């Protein structure tokens, strides 16, 4: 357990504060964004290469790395599990520009594991469109708990967005991890707003 005050961390590592959020009942509906150029598509049998490309495209500026650090077999076991649903926002040209991953593997619960849109869609209502789809799908299942977490490496609007969407913060943790730009999991120019301390 960390005590109050400043704590040194290893060089070459990132430190982030993770906030866990939950909801136990469906929230009131919010007005839907009108984005006729985008459609929500369920990807029933995602390939690992495709998933990693989209995961990296959506998450590189926020240093998403967990799914890049596991083997193809481990990743495939997760994303092809029948209790895990992958949906994307796709534009008219067939480009996947948003990622939604829901995990129903725990009975009675759902985890919103990954959620994000490409930089070009931010501020246009695409996140709200994706969240409405996430909430509708999650609460259509027999669950009593929907959870998500975000961290201080994520987009600055992520935490307030989750709270506006009906999630309630319930816990805060500190995570220390090797900087993925130093380990080669992400390119050195990823997340330029986060300094690299080698």
Name which of 125, 130, 110 is nearest 42 in CA terms: 130
pLDDT at residue 97, rounded to an integer = 94
pLDDT at residue 59, rounded to an integer = 96
Query: What are 74-116's pLDDT values in tens digits?
Result: 999 999 999 999 999 999 999 999 999 999 999 999 999 999 9
Contact 62/10 with Cβ under 8 angstroms? no
Q: Compute CA distances 157 → 43, 62, 97, whole Å.
A: 27, 12, 18
Residue 129 to residue 30: CA distance in whole angstroms: 10
| Per-residue pLDDT at 36 exceeds 80 | no
To the question of pTM greater than 0.85 for the whole model, the response is: yes
Query: What are 168-198's pLDDT values in tens digits?
Result: 999 999 999 999 999 999 999 999 999 999 8
Superfamily of domain 36-183: Gcn5-related N-acetyltransferase (GNAT) (3.40.630.30)
Q: Would you state the structure tokens that stand for residue 54, as one six-digit string?
A: 């989209």
pLDDT at residue 52, rounded to an integer = 97
Contact 20/171 with Cβ under 8 angstroms? yes
| Per-residue pLDDT at 31 exceeds 80 | no
Q: Output the CA angle 7-150-41, nearest 5 degrees.
A: 155
Q: Report the chain's C-alpha Rg in angstroms.
A: 17
| Per-residue pLDDT at 35 exceeds 80 | no
- Dmax of the chain from CA atoms? 52
Residue 15 to residue 9: CA distance in whole angstroms: 8
Query: What are 144-167's pLDDT values in tens digits?
Result: 999 999 999 999 999 999 999 999
Q: What percent of the chain has pLDDT over 90?
A: 86
Q: Domain-by-domain residue ranges, the chain?
A: 36-183
Q: In what order do the strands lie in the sheet with 38-43?
A: 38-43, 84-91, 96-103, 109-117, 145-151, 13-23, 168-178
């Amino acid at each position: 357990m960390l005590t109050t005050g400043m704590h040194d961390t290893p060089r070459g590592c990132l430190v982030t504060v993770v906030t866990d959020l939950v909801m136990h009942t469906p929230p009131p509906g919010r007005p839907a964004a009108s984005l006729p150029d985008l459609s929500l598509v369920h990807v029933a049998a995602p390939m690992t290469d495709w998933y990693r490309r989209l995961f990296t495209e959506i998450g590189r500026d926020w240093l998403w790395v967990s799914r890049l650090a596991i083997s193809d077999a481990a990743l495939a076991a997760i994303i092809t599990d029948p209790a895990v649903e992958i949906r994307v926002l796709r534009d008219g040209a067939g480009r996947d520009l948003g990622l939604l991953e829901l995990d129903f593997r725990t009975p009675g619960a759902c985890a919103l594991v990954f959620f994000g849109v490409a930089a070009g869609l931010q501020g246009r209502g695409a996140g709200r469109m994706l969240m409405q789809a996430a909430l509708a799908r999650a609460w259509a299942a027999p669950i009593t708990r929907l959870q998500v977490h975000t961290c201080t490496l994520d987009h600055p609007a992520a935490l307030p967005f989750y709270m506006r969407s009906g999630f309630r913060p319930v816990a805060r943790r500190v995570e220390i991890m090797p900087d993925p730009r130093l380990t080669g999991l992400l390119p050195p120019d990823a997340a330029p707003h986060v300094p690299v301390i080698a």
